[in-house]
Structure formats: C-alpha cells, structure tokens
Amino acid sequence: MHALTGFAETDRSFFARDALEVAPQLPGCVLERTDAHGTVAIRITEVEAYAGERDPGSHSYRGKTARNATMFGEPGHVYVYFTYGLHHAVNLVAGLAGQPYGCLVRAGRVVVGEPLARSRREHGPGVNARRVAPLRDLDLARGPGNVARAFGVTRADDGDDLFGGAWRFLIPDAPTGLAPATGPRVGVSGPAGDGARFPWRFWTADDPTVSAYRPGRISRAASEREPRPR
C-alpha cells in the first residue's frame, strides 16, 4: 500500500448515491490496484455516468444479464466489460443495490507505478507491436481501454470490491471546489448521445490526460430503431 499525500480513505457510502451525484466528484480522486506484479494508481481526470433504466446508453437499460450483473449489486464494486472486441473498461458501481448505475473511468494520470503501467501499455497483450516511440506519460491512462491496460484488468476482475482486496479508492483531503467540465458522452449514439439531454461526461478542465471527444456513429438502418446501449 502506497501513502499518497493529500488523499484520504472513504467508505462505501460515497458510491451509495445516484450516478449523477457520484460522477462529478470522481475527477481528482485516486483509484489504485495492487496485484502480484505491483501497484498502479491513477488520479481520475475523466468519467461518464450511466443510469440504468432511465438511460438508453447504459448496459443495464434493458435489465439484468450475465454480463452486467455486477451493476445490479452493492455499490463500490468494479464492473469490467470487454467492448468493441478490442479492450476492457473499468466502471465503478453506484446507487443502491438493485439500481444498476455506474461511472465509467475514461482517463486518469498515473501517480503510482508508472514503470508497471508503462510496461503494460507498451508491451502487454493487445499492444501494437509496430510502435517505436515510447508513450508520453499523459497517454498511459488516457482513454478507457488504456485505463484498464494500465491496471492490468480483465473480465476476471469484474465484481471486485473497491473496499477490500486488490483495490483502493481515495478522495482528496481538500477538494478544489471547482466544478468539472461537462458534456456529451464519447461514442454514444442515438438519443443517449444527445449532449443537451445527457451531458453526463465529467472531466478536469484543461487536463491533457482527458481523452478526445468523438460522437457516436449509427447506420442509416439502425437510426430508425432504438439505439443499442453501450
């Protein structure tokens, strides 16, 4: 366990709230994971909120499945899924038991374990073998797939408890008092991608680790159907 100056332990009640209350408070917090290879911690800089039955962009919009079951459980757990056939993503479960809410960790700045995070990002599974130049520090956990790679996370970690075991979650001793920037979620199509109705992405303004925005894409045929949740 690494001591991080300026941060303090919290408890499960932090996550036992609506995702739209939790998500704006996540930028600036620290998420840490320790395994047999070492410890990596990031200071979160970007998240997205997903709100179950009232959110057509959520995995849990249509109900409980084997894939999203963790979202229906106790808050303060980790929901990991594999997306686009490319990478894993790390979500922090919010709400009360039975409320399938969560916050996707989109980006962060590595504050502990930079060599381990870099090794995973530059040489781990799924890495582009053609890369020549080393990654910039700001790119180590920039984008949800890179967050998961930096932590060494797979579907085997789905359901992990943030308050016991491999993970630790810390909040700042003295919040800045500055509200995060907000806007539409990245890559979400259909009504759920409407930034006026769902400005549910929250990030630390002007932080270079925040991932680039791109709108969701939907085919002409699919545009006449209800959008498929992410």
| Residue 1: predicted pLDDT | 61
Domain containing 79 — which CATH number? 3.10.300.10
Q: How many CA atoms lie within 13 A of 215 on its CB side?
A: 8
In a domain? residue 210: no
Tell me how far apart the terminal alpha carbons of the chain are, to the nearest angstrom: 34
What is residue 161's DSSP assignment? B
Residue 33 lies in a domain: yes
Weakest mean pLDDT among 18-22, 148-152, 192-196, 220-224: 220-224
Percent of the chain whose predicted confidence (pLDDT) is above 70: 89
Q: Are 28 and 181 in contact (CB under 8 A)?
A: no
Q: Is the pLDDT of residue 211 over 70?
A: yes
Q: Which domain holds residue 45?
A: 18-204
Alpha-carbon distances of 89 from 16, 42, 102, 132, rounded to whole Å: 21, 15, 12, 25
Lowest mean pLDDT among 37-41, 53-57, 151-155, 203-207: 53-57
- Model pLDDT for residues 116-169, shown as the tens digit of each residue: 999 999 987 766 656 657 899 999 999 999 999 999 999 999 999 999 899 999
- Residue 3 located in a structural domain: no
Whether residue 30 is contained in a domain is answered as yes
CB atoms within 10 A of CB 39: 17
Q: Is residue 7 part of a domain?
A: no
Give the closest residue to 31 by CA, choosing from 49, 51, 16, 46. 46
Tally the domains of the chain: 1
Residue 219 belongs to some domain of the structure:
no
Q: Is the pLDDT of residue 71 over 70?
A: yes
Q: Does residue 226 form part of some domain? A: no
CA dihedral 149, 150, 153, 158 (to 10 degrees): -110
Residue 192 lies in a domain: yes
